């Protein structure tokens, strides 16, 4: 095994988050050769020069504004002053209405940094699930909420539906003028959301930087506005990020360059078949995995290649994991976790590559954002993919629109007739016939091949109870099959790992879980309500995956969701009895 750590910084320099790794000799040799190539071909200089030929020579040069966070956040003083005024305008809570890169960074900031001083309590709503929308309404006083509509393009379906729904509810209660004053927008200049904000009298519009894509936007107004509303100073946050910018600059040699070194290890491991990047997060850092999942999956998962992020999978013993794994320990210097330290050491001793990114202090969170953005760009260069496009995302959106039109016209969907009905569970797909739910599930997941992964895609409310249910099923699936497992709530995952599922490595086997909607909510200006759109999103994504040869099965739960989930869990236990130590 090769053990390496980045050189310690001299005492007089600002703090820099730590990075170390323990890797097998084969990966060490590959990394050494790639670092030599990166040095010969001036990779880091080309990255900072925005040279598109570092990747595919397409339009990559248009999307590198994130390299200069201070330029991507023009008028930082004005933005901070506006946010300070909003914090003292009588609001108690702020709700981000956004998907993917427009909200995932905000979620991380809220969980890791929290409120400071007179900041607002932050909530993120990134769903079309009607029950989840109503659950948020029950937790806050809407008259004292500031709604942040976040969308780079301004045309994101979910964000617009949520904005319409809440604006209408507030208008009925307070009048349209007062309702508008409870909204702000974060969007690119000239978007349709800019026009909407003007027409509806939003309190403020914060303009993004067009050269920064959504998944790289956390150090732009999409993250910094939220940071300011939480009560933190964005200028100080960016200042604390600078040591990582300097460390990732072209003049920093290979092994000492944290972005280059991490990216080389990720890219070379993926080329060698170790493409399941599994996060081990210290308590308090768990939410960082969700942001990393989108960054890596959407940036690298295309052209049949990619890194498969494995987030929130329950811990297992070294023997539970396949050799397609690489582990990243997201460590908290402020509050180290002895249990995870020991777990990482056992994995390294068993021959797995184990990388450690240490967040020295919560205030240095921006350094991790930047480190991983650089590393992802480097890994994409090794995989020879464009890290700034998402060529397969639009396909699912088109099928969703088609499904919505069928629903509106009262036409049957393509999988209207189930393969099997057992109690509250109705199974749909092209799987071979089976006489029981357990038989169908056994055939579906039993066909997983080495290097594949199992995906559970749940179109139901994302809450602690359902997250625990999903984690439990993932543990059982891994123990029974030895495969990596991923999980997501729809439509949230469509804006995170959806690109990877369609364009990334083959071998995934997908179980969609849909359910009867207990209530429908209408969004003014939209012909279908939330529940109908969510169903169209599930069916559209499955239809697109099937068209690409991906193995999909859908189970629909009728009646009580909790009873149906219990029945499904029992069927999975019968289908895939656990034989490992668990």
pTM tops 0.85: yes
- Where do we find the tokens 């990596």? 484
Q: Is the pLDDT of residue 423 over 80?
A: yes
Q: Tell me what pLDDT residue 203 has.
A: 98
pLDDT, tens digit, 9 for 90 and up, residues 278-308: 999 999 999 999 999 999 999 999 999 999 9
Distance of CA 205 to the CA centre of its chain: 25
Q: Is the pLDDT of residue 10 over 60?
A: no
Which residues lie below 8 Å from residue 342, measured CB to CB, with a gap of 6+?
Answer: none
Question: Out of 3.40.50.10490, 3.30.70.2190, 3.40.630.90, 3.40.190.10, which CATH number does the structure's domain 18-58+244-383 have?
Answer: 3.40.50.10490
Average pLDDT for 469-489 = 97
Query: What percent of the chain has pLDDT above 70?
Result: 96
pLDDT, tens digit, 9 for 90 and up, residues 356-386: 999 999 999 999 999 999 999 999 999 999 9
Q: Tell me what pLDDT residue 204 has.
A: 97
Nearest alpha-carbon partner for 306 in 365, 236, 376: 376
Q: What is residue 548's three-state secondary structure? A: coil
pLDDT, tens digit, 9 for 90 and up, residues 167-176: 999 999 999 9
CATH class of the 391-575 domain in this structure: alpha beta
* Same-fold call for 18-58+244-383 versus 391-575: yes
Q: Is the pLDDT of residue 532 over 50?
A: yes
Q: Tell me what pLDDT residue 188 has.
A: 97
Q: Is the pLDDT of residue 409 over 80?
A: no
Residue 396 confidence class, pLDDT cut points 50, 70, 90 = confident
Q: Which residue has the higher pLDDT, 410 or 46?
A: 46
Phi-psi region of 206 (alpha: psi -120 to 50; beta: other; left: phi over 0): beta
User: What mean pLDDT is reported for the chain?
Assistant: 94
Angle (CA) 561-566-569 rounded to 5° is: 120
Q: Tell me what pLDDT residue 2 has.
A: 56
Average pLDDT for 425-444 = 92
Residue burial 246-275, b: 16+ Cβ < 10 Å; e: rest: ebbbeebebbebbbbbbbbbbbbbbbbebb
pLDDT, tens digit, 9 for 90 and up, residues 84-119: 999 999 999 999 999 999 999 999 999 999 999 899
How close are the terminal C-alpha atoms of the chain, in Å? 27
Q: Tell me what pLDDT residue 78 has.
A: 93
- Where do we find the tokens 């000492």? 256
Q: Is the pLDDT of residue 165 over 60?
A: yes
Q: Tell me what pLDDT residue 230 has.
A: 98
Helix (H) or strand (E) segment spanning residue 344: helix 338-349
The hierarchical CATH code for the domain 73-207 is 3.40.50.10490
User: Would you kindly state where each structural domain of the chain is located, as residue ranges?
Assistant: 18-58+244-383, 73-207, 391-575
Helices and strands, number each (H, E), in the chain? 21, 17
């Amino acid at each position: 095994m090769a053990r390496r750590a980045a050189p310690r910084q001299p005492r007089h320099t600002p703090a820099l988050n730590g990075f170390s790794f323990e890797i097998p000799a084969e990966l060490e040799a590959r990394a050494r050769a790639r670092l030599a190539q990166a040095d010969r071909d001036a990779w880091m200089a080309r990255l900072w020069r925005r040279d598109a030929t570092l990747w595919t020579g397409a339009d990559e040069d248009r999307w590198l504004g994130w390299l200069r966070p201070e330029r991507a956040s023009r008028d930082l003083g004005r933005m901070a002053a506006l946010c300070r005024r909003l914090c003292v305008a009588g609001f108690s809570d702020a709700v981000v209405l956004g998907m993917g890169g427009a909200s995932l960074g905000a979620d991380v900031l809220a969980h890791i940094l929290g409120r400071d001083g007179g900041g607002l309590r932050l909530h993120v709503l990134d769903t079309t699930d009607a029950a989840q929308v109503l659950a948020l309404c029950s937790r806050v006083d809407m008259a004292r909420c500031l709604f942040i509509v976040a969308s780079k393009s301004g045309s994101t379906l979910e964000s617009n539906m949520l904005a319409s729904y809440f604006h209408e509810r507030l208008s009925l209660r307070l009048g349209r003028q007062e309702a508008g004053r409870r909204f702000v927008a974060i969007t690119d200049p000239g978007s349709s959301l800019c026009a909407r904000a003007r027409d509806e009298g939003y309190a403020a519009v914060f303009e993004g930087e067009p050269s920064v894509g959504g998944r790289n936007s956390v150090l732009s107004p999409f993250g910094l506005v939220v940071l300011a509303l939480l009560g933190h100073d964005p200028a100080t946050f960016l200042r604390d990020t600078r040591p990582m910018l300097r460390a990732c600059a072209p003049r920093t040699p290979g092994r000492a360059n944290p972005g280059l070194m991490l990216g080389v290890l990720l890219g070379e491991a993926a080329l060698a078949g170790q493409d399941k990047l599994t996060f081990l997060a210290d308590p308090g850092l768990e939410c960082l995995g969700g942001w990393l999942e989108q960054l890596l999956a959407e940036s690298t998962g295309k052209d049949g290649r990619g890194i498969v992020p494995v987030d929130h999978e329950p811990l297992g013993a070294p023997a539970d994991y396949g050799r397609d794994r690489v582990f990243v320990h997201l460590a908290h210097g402020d509050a180290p976790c002895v249990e995870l330290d020991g777990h990482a050491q056992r994995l390294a001793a068993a021959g797995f590559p184990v990388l450690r990114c240490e967040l020295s202090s919560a205030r240095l969170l921006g350094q991790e954002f930047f480190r991983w953005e650089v590393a992802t760009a480097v890994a994409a260069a090794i995989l020879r993919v464009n890290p700034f496009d998402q060529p397969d995302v639009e396909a699912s959106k088109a099928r969703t629109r088609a499904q919505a039109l069928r629903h509106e016209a009262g036409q049957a969907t393509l999988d209207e007739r189930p393969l099997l009905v057992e109690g509250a569970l109705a199974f749909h797909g092209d799987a071979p016939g089976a006489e029981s739910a357990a038989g169908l599930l056994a055939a579906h997941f039993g066909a997983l091949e080495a290097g594949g992964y199992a995906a559970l895609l749940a179109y139901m409310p994302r809450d602690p109870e359902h997250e625990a249910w999903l984690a439990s099923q993932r543990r059982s699936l891994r123990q029974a099959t030895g495969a990596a497992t991923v999980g997501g709530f729809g439509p949230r995952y469509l804006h995170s790992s959806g690109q990877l599922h369609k364009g990334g490595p083959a071998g995934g086997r997908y179980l969609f879980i849909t359910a009867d909607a207990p209530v429908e909510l209408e969004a003014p200006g939209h012909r279908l309500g939330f529940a109908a759109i969510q169903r169209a999103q599930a069916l559209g994504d499955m239809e697109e995956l099937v068209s690409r040869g991906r193995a999909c099965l859908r189970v629909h739960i009728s009646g009580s969701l909790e009873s149906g989930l219990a029945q499904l869990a029992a069927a999975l236990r019968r289908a895939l009895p656990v034989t490992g130590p668990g």
